[in-house]
């Protein structure tokens, strides 16, 4: 069955970086985009970006102004989201999800979420 398992909770400092992993199984990793979404405390879901595991190409919302880097390791069937220059409002649960076979496809399977707490 399709599974996405994310790395554990992180507590990190203002201005630092955090890297969240998303290990997939149960399907052909390179065939489906990986999407990243976050939810800050008391807020709604916010789409962050996608990565094409086949080509490594990625795109993300301008909200993050180049602070986010999406990568993947096809040998491990794992995608990564790194967020730098962390601010207090980056405290959130970060989710990865299996998107479609094109960038337009929305998430059908989700990771369990990774809580990132930015401490001052």
Partner 1 sequence: QSVLTQPPSASGTPGQRVTISCSGSNSNIGSNVVSWYQHFPGTAPKLLISMNDQRPSGVADRISASKSGTSASLAISGLRSEDEADYYCAGWDDSLSGHVFGTGTKVTVL
Question: Would you tell me which residues interact with partner 1 (CB under 8 A)?
Answer: 35, 37, 39, 44-47, 49-50, 59-61, 93, 95, 103-104, 106-113
Paired tokens of 44 = 């709604």
Q: Cβ of residue 49: shortest distance to partner 1, in angstroms?
A: 7
Paired tokens of 2 = 């399709």
Nearer to partner 1, 18 or 22 (CB): 22
Nearer to partner 1, 15 or 56 (CB): 56
Nearer to partner 1, 18 or 107 (CB): 107
């Amino acid at each position: 069955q399709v599974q996405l398992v994310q790395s554990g909770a992180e507590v990190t400092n203002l201005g630092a970086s955090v890297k969240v992993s998303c290990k997939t199984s149960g399907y052909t990793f390179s065939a489906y985009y990986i999407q990243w979404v976050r939810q800050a405390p008391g807020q709604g879901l916010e789409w962050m970006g996608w990565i094409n595991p086949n080509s490594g190409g990625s795109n993300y919302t301008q909200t993050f102004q180049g602070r986010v880097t999406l990568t993947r390791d096809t040998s491990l069937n794992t995608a990564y989201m790194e967020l730098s220059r962390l601010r207090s409002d980056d405290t959130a649960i970060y989710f990865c999800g299996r998107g479609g076979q094109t960038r337009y496809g929305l998430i059908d399977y989700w990771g369990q979420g990774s809580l990132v707490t930015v401490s001052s």
